[in-house]
Copies of this chain bind each other. A is one copy, B any other.
């Protein structure tokens, strides 16, 4: 062999080795692997750097745009990932990080995920998934039953029927909502006479054939942004997502909803879907689903419920009543990577009527042939991993009782936290928890008193100042890295719907304790006294004093 040939042969053999020879037990990567298995919390604690580095700094480690020419050792990349990626990632499992919807995972999810990845099944067809297909159908059946409570005979008939589907698995809530509205849109303009259906001829001809000027999706102002995205994707346009006003508890105003529907009807706009929210992303409130179902029936609209967050509340005997009416929905979105405690990348939608999915059925020659059991014929995605195995395991290992405990504890912890906030005179509870989400802000007693008596202009000014303070506290607390609450903008009725920035807290991590919550509040108060916001704070106090002085004319003038 020449030298060149020899080196080519060596490269080929090296390549072969990465597919055949496991990492040595003492290698960097194997040690990480074992570390994670033995002590995940410790691994995260040790390797994720608490204090946040500026993202522009972090970017420098990821600035090369050229794919490297020469292979490197696995250990080199493992070390790079530890130092540069893991170190600067977010400790989503931390019990002090209560600002997002990602919680700690049950330990068993890790080795189970490894099995899933090792098997590398593709759920698009049975040829690459075999038993995973009936397993996924069972998971869809179980969630369907949790929502719709049909009898066993119903599930015996439909759960494994290859020509029907009780739902569709996907990567998350956004795709689940999109799938539901795709079904709704196609069913709103079905084949009739010479018209072969919207799915075949498109929206333009559908509206012309049926004599409509447009089609609308209605949802409360607190609906998830994925619904507006879906309206865009589906060709309806973002304008067709009609936001409906909410009551003071962030739940859709059903009178306003009905009025909007009537208005749209007059404008010859088809009320295609009404979406209820079971757990608004920002405030965790639940729409009055029963009345919404009635309105949907009245207008012949598809009734979808986005229960991406709140769906698992159905596990709780105590709180499942909060979702009353969900069983009347035509479709319901669940996110498994939220309160089913499955790793990121698992959502699903269930359909009350097993025939519904046929509105989006697709076939091809080499897979998902007609009559096959292939799940790919009714999913939006094509190739998909076997995430349903993790949902299956959660449902079996934790069971209804386990999930009930998680749900109940979350809601009760949110109530406790709300009481803690209310008990203080320097914090203001903005939205009371209905599920396990609440919002509040830092607001000194004097400022609260001032806001109670301020006129609209004064109130706006104070709130605007508070917004800057809220933003500062939230951002700085995050950067310090000990705790994390998120922030959002709400328009509270008692401040004349002025946009107020608030801290948003999600209490889904079972490891979050009362002490942790106390520490979070303490740090926020401390940050309110920080040098970086002192000027703003002085202005705030001046404004508050001025309002209070003005409103106490008698004492002043005396």
Among A242-250, A380-388, A518-526, A548-556, the one that faces the other chain is A380-388
* Interchain CA distance A329-B306 in the complex, whole Å: 37
Does A465 belong to the interface (CB within 8 Å)? no
The interface residues of chain B lying within 8 Å CB-to-CB of A484 are 127
Partner of A29, one of B111, B174, B345, B373: B111
The interface residues of chain B lying within 8 Å CB-to-CB of A43 are 118
| Cβ–Cβ contact B58 & A134, under 8 A | yes
Among A79-87, A452-460, A534-542, the one that faces the other chain is A79-87
Does A3 belong to the interface (CB within 8 Å)? no
Does A266 belong to the interface (CB within 8 Å)? no
The interface residues of chain B lying within 8 Å CB-to-CB of A204 are 203-204, 207, 213-214
Does A543 belong to the interface (CB within 8 Å)? no
Does A102 belong to the interface (CB within 8 Å)? yes
For window 210-232 of A, CB contacts with B under 8 Å fall at 213-214, 225-226, 228-229, 232
* Distance of A261 from chain B, by nearest CB (Å): 19
What 7 pairs between A and B have smallest CB-CB spacing?
Answer: A235-B235, A202-B237, A65-B155, A366-B488, A174-B382, A88-B131, A225-B364
The interface residues of chain B lying within 8 Å CB-to-CB of A381 are 171-172, 174-175
Among A140-148, A288-296, A319-327, A421-429, the one that faces the other chain is A140-148
* Interchain CA distance A363-B393 in the complex, whole Å: 35
| Cβ–Cβ contact B237 & A111, under 8 A | no
The interface residues of chain B lying within 8 Å CB-to-CB of A111 are 23, 29-30, 32-33, 78
Sampled A-B contacts (19; CB under 8 Å): A19-B510, A21-B107, A22-B38, A23-B108, A29-B108, A33-B37, A44-B118, A55-B133, A59-B137, A63-B156, A65-B145, A67-B146, A88-B131, A89-B131, A174-B383, A175-B380, A182-B233, A204-B204, A232-B362
| Cβ–Cβ contact A61 & B131, under 8 A | yes
| A contact residues, range | 35 or more
Does A129 belong to the interface (CB within 8 Å)? yes
Does A343 belong to the interface (CB within 8 Å)? yes
Does A113 belong to the interface (CB within 8 Å)? yes
| Cβ–Cβ contact A36 & B134, under 8 A | no
| Cβ–Cβ contact B174 & A239, under 8 A | no
For window 87-140 of A, CB contacts with B under 8 Å fall at 87-90, 92-93, 99-102, 104-115, 117-122, 126-135, 137-138
Does A50 belong to the interface (CB within 8 Å)? no
| Cβ–Cβ contact A129 & B200, under 8 A | no
The interface residues of chain B lying within 8 Å CB-to-CB of A11 are 401-402, 405
| Cβ–Cβ contact A397 & B71, under 8 A | yes
| Cβ–Cβ contact A235 & B232, under 8 A | no
| Cβ–Cβ contact B88 & A130, under 8 A | yes
* Interchain CA distance A88-B127 in the complex, whole Å: 11
For window 323-357 of A, CB contacts with B under 8 Å fall at 335, 337, 343-345, 347
- How many monomers of this chain does the complex have? 2
Does A389 belong to the interface (CB within 8 Å)? yes
| Cβ–Cβ contact A399 & B71, under 8 A | yes
The interface residues of chain B lying within 8 Å CB-to-CB of A487 are 366
With contacts A18-B398, A102-B120 taken as known, whether A380 is within 8 angstroms of B511 at the C-beta atoms is no
With contacts A128-B92, A130-B90 taken as known, whether A107 is within 8 angstroms of B22 at the C-beta atoms is yes
* Interchain CA distance A59-B87 in the complex, whole Å: 44
Interface string of A164-192 (1 = CB under 8 A from B): 00000011111100100010011000000
Interface string of A474-499 (1 = CB under 8 A from B): 00001000001011110000000000
The interface residues of chain B lying within 8 Å CB-to-CB of A38 are 22, 25
| Cβ–Cβ contact A109 & B117, under 8 A | yes
Does A262 belong to the interface (CB within 8 Å)? no
* Interchain CA distance A70-B315 in the complex, whole Å: 12
Partner of A400, one of B68, B88, B134, B281: B68
